[in-house]
Amino acid sequence: MGTMTIDGRKIEFTDEKNVLSVIRKAGINIPTLCYHSELSTFGACRLCTVEDGRGKMFASCSEEPRDGMVIHTNTGKLRKYRKLIVELLLAAHCRDCTTCVKSGECVLQELAHRLGVKQVRFENTREQRELDFSSPSIVRDPNKCILCGNCVRACSEIQGIGCIGFAFRGTEAMVMPAFDKKISETDCVNCGQCRVYCPTGAISIRTNTGSVWEALNDENVRVVAQIAPAVRVA
Ligand code: FES
């Protein structure tokens, strides 16, 4: 319990678990990709970074609120930093947005618009990987994965299955089922939780035609829709 100063305004907090929640309580819409209040904190994307009173930058989702903190959420340095993060994510991301099933509801796409990313200055050096169509309920496109880990945590923390995880490190890092198996070869129960938390088109609902509307007639989609709640703001 205490008070902090956010962008010059005094904001009281009680049991908020991190600085990000206090910022949101103040009505400030700070961008995030890897934070969800229902999942454990991962702190990977760094989009929620803010500055303290001395100009030190830190990820607000991973910091506990403390009485007397001074926080800046929208300085020129932060705007430049967030734009660079989105640019780097896009550089390693398949950019077929116009034909992507997630177009219009992709968080990365929305952030690129919001942060004014009009072109990507960096070359995409990521190796193209095969899509996984083996599951009756979802399609996994590793070329659209931004390594936020939301699907990994949703699968293990919400569903208690853990059929996907991180493999390799650094620029080689990937999300995949163990030993690069197909989804259908894992313990996946087709619940669709990974799709609910995926911010991009890396995991989408399996349809026969790729059309979301036609998918409404697909038995698998109806099953997933019943089990998985609608995507919510973290
Ligand atoms: Fe805080 Fe991703 S939302 S690091």
Q: Give the atom of ligand 1 at the shortest distance from the alpha carbon of 31.
A: 3
- The topology under which CATH files domain 84-227 is Alpha-Beta Plaits (3.30.70)
Structure tokens at 44: 């990977």
| Angle at the Cα of 86 from the Cα atoms of 84 and 91, rounded to 5 degrees | 95
Q: Helix, strand, coil % (nearest 5) of the chain?
A: 30, 15, 55
ipTM of the complex: 0.98
Can you tell me which residue has the tokens 């009009």?
118
- Walk along the chain (234 residues) and give the pLDDT tens digit of each residue: 899 999 999 999 999 999 999 999 999 999 999 999 999 999 999 999 999 999 999 999 999 999 999 999 999 999 999 999 999 999 988 878 888 989 999 999 999 999 999 888 888 878 889 999 999 999 999 999 999 999 999 999 999 999 999 999 988 899 999 999 999 999 999 999 999 999 999 999 987 654 443 444 344 443 343 333 333 334
- Phi-psi domain of 231 (left: phi exceeds 0; alpha: psi -120 through 50; beta: other): beta
Half-sphere exposure of 173 (CA within 13 A, CB side): 12
Ligand 1: centre distance to CA 184 (Å): 30
Residue 47 · residue 84 · CB < 8 Å: no
Q: What is the CATH number of domain 2-74?
A: 3.10.20.740
- If one residue of 40, 46, 78 were mutated to test the ligand 1 pocket, choosing by the most ligand atoms within 8 A of its CB, it would be 46
**How open is the CA angle 38-42-46, to the nearest 5 degrees?**
115
Report domain extents, the chain: 2-74, 84-227
Read off the pTM.
0.84
Site to substitute for ligand 1 among 18, 23, 40, 42, most atoms within 8 A of C-beta: 42
What is the CA(45)–ligand 1 centre distance, in A? 5
| Dist CA 65 CA 20 (whole Å) | 9
Q: Which residues form the pocket of ligand 1, taking CB atoms under 6 Å from any ligand atom? A: 32-35, 43-48, 59, 61
Q: What is the three-class DSSP state of 204?
A: strand
- Residue 69 tokens read as 């903190």
User: In angstroms, rounded to a whole number, what is the distance separating the alpha carbons of residues 201 and 101?
Assistant: 7
Helix (H) or strand (E) holding 90: helix 76-91
